[in-house]
Amino acid sequence: MRDFKGKIAFITGGASGAGLGQAKLFAKEGMKVAIADVRLDALHSAVSEIVEYAGCNVADVMPLCFDLTDRKAYTSAADTVEKVFGGPPHLLIQTAGVNSFGPIEASTFDDFDWVMGVCLDHVVNGLVIFVPRMIKAYGGTDGVAREEFHVACTSSGGAFMAGATCGPYCAAKAAANNLMYSYADALAPYGGGSTVICPGNINSNIGDAEKHRPEHLRNTGYHVSEGTMAHLRSVHATGIDPIELAEILKEAIENGRIIALPTKDIESWEPQLRGMNGRIEDYLLTAPERQKIMEERMAEMMRNRPERDNPGGWEVPEGAERFGMARKDLDYIDPSKKPQ
């Protein structure tokens, strides 16, 4: 996606931090921007900041206050965007996120439900609600869209690392990454694209996230205080500027990159990334006895495979040709992905 002017963007977490940076940048590119957040006061100030930064009309910035984990509310917001802006977003960026720190073994159900609800479930909600609308409105065939469209997600470097003190967050981000890889493949036939951006530290107010944890999810196993939040604020104050991060995301979208890894100190990631990937490499590459066992098992399986009438391949059970296809009545799905 390279042409942004006159198109529609929908950005979650758009009232501050990375989401606000994205809203400012894409509004300046000439997009109509809808920003979703759960904080009404922050939304009002964000609209003013976007208009001032982008020099756009206030009517081209739509604040939407709702809980992103509430599917009914999310659907209603999607309907509002279509009604006011004239269609679904050409660019969906899901950036909202929360985090809290504590030993994973002390985590409660509320800790998992809150962090994974915002960091993963809300991404699922946006994709399920918007992608069918985007395909219907803008999708084409043979990889050529009628209008350019793209989905993106702001993930984290934590997606690649173990997080003994932020386990729910790292698990959610790893899952979000995988979702975006899957959507990249799925949208290509319609001419759409997908990008996940995985920053390290961002200059944002995510350190204050605990202040906005819903009342019904406040049974945490972590120690949380004004002191711990102040510490996180000081850490995040040294992070990448949200506008700079948005520019990196824009470049990735323009060039069809599925993943972007922006950080000021990429070298500091190396030991952790090597440590995590090394576990897989150790299993696959540095254990020849395991490889030998697998080869022997494969050879045994091939020796004992049943006789086949079809020399071209395994016998296919009836109905298997429809495996992995979509429901036939979904009118936005590529016909090749539906049973005939």
Active site residues: 169
Q: Which residues pair with 153 in a beta bridge?
A: 94, 196
Q: What whole-number distance in Å separates Cα of residue 142 and Cα of residue 136?
A: 15
* C-alpha distances in Å from residue 115, one per residue of 11, 71, 167: 19, 17, 10
Question: Where is 284: in which H helix or E strand?
Answer: helix 266-285
Phi, psi of 64 (to 5 degrees): -130, 115
* C-alpha distances in Å from residue 143, one per residue of 151, 162, 182, 189, 301: 15, 37, 16, 4, 39
Sequence-distant (6+) residues with CB within 8 A of 266 are 200
| Residue appearing with tokens 């309907």 | 79
Secondary structure of residue 294 in the 3-state scheme: helix
Q: What whole-number distance in Å separates Cα of residue 116 and Cα of residue 99?
A: 9
Q: What whole-number distance in Å separates Cα of residue 242 and Cα of residue 220?
A: 29
